[in-house]
Structures are given as structure tokens and as C-alpha cells.
Amino acid sequence: MTPDGSFQALVDSFERRLHDATAALEALDARAARAPLAPGKWSRAEVVGHLVDSASNNHQRFVRAQLGQPFVFPTYDQDAWVALQRWNEAPWPQLVELLVRFNSELARLMRRTSPQQLRQPRFPHNLHQIAFKPWPEREPATLEWFMRDYVEHFEHHLRQAGVPD
């Protein structure tokens, strides 16, 4: 069984956005990708690297949730991850490719998540700590909401990196 049309439309939109963003990111040269977006801020390469880190962490979370594991997931220090991995030194074309491949896999996982898994109330959770838009700590959460939050986070950072809608 596949998710309903509304969720499928979200995944379709996410895949289109990923495709369109790929062309925009590939058009950037490495020097422009490595320039800070503002003083003290990440570069486009670091933003893309952060999106890779986010995809990596959320892939685990989405799978573990479907295996019936608690809806309480490890946090991670995004600034430390970006600094440690030196995303600004990564070859730009490979970094863009990694972003695309990882998020394509997330879209595939989202598309194949059953409606029951998507809508099952989950409690306890720590989405008040790890989600892009925190979910109330005392209210049950759903995997569908968490996946939608991931897509919103992805969109936010693409806009931050200057990738047009």
C-alpha cells in the first residue's frame, strides 16, 4: 500500500525541486560555491554538505521509525559536523552528486512508506529538539509530519544557498 495522494504530491514536488536544484547547483563554479554567503556564515558548499548530513541522519530516523524503534533520535551538532567534514574542501561536483543521490533515496523511502506507518501516532518523541519546526513535546507526532518537516528544511536551505524556487 502506498501513501495517499497528498503525501505523494509532496514527494513528487520534493523530487522536482531536487532535480531543478541540481541544475542550478551544477551551474556554480567551485570558487563561488566555497565563498561564504555572508560574514561568519556557511558557504553554499557548506550548506549543501549540511543537507547531506541531514539526509544521512534522517534516513536512519525514517527507517528506524518504521522498524518500531522509539521515536526518540540522536541529535547532532550541525556546525561541528560541517566543520569536521570540511565540506568547503570537497570536490563541488561530487558534493552536488552526493546531495542528489542521498535525497533521491529519501524520496524513494518516503514514497514507499505505508499510510499506517505515516499516520501512526508516536509518543514519546524528541521532535521538539530535532525537527526543523519543533513539534510540541507533549503531543503525539507522526512520521508523515516528520518527513514533511524534512522537506521544508531542505527547501529552506536551498533558498539560503540562493537556489531559486
- The candidate with the shortest Cα–Cα distance to 13, out of 98, 110, 80, 117, is 110
Q: What percent of the chain has pLDDT over 90?
A: 92
Single pTM value for the model: 0.93
Answer whether residue 3 shows pLDDT above 70.
no
3-class secondary structure, 142 = coil
pLDDT of amino acid 53 = 97
pLDDT digits (tens, 9 = 90+) for 34-78: 999 999 999 999 999 999 999 999 999 999 999 998 899 999 999
Beta carbons of 17 and 161 less than 8 angstroms apart: no
Beta carbons of 107 and 18 less than 8 angstroms apart: yes
pLDDT of amino acid 164 = 83
**Domains along the chain with CATH numbers:** 5-160 (1.20.120.450)
Whole-number Cα distances in Å, 64 to 79, 83, 109, 144: 24, 27, 12, 14
Give the pLDDT mean for 129-158: 96
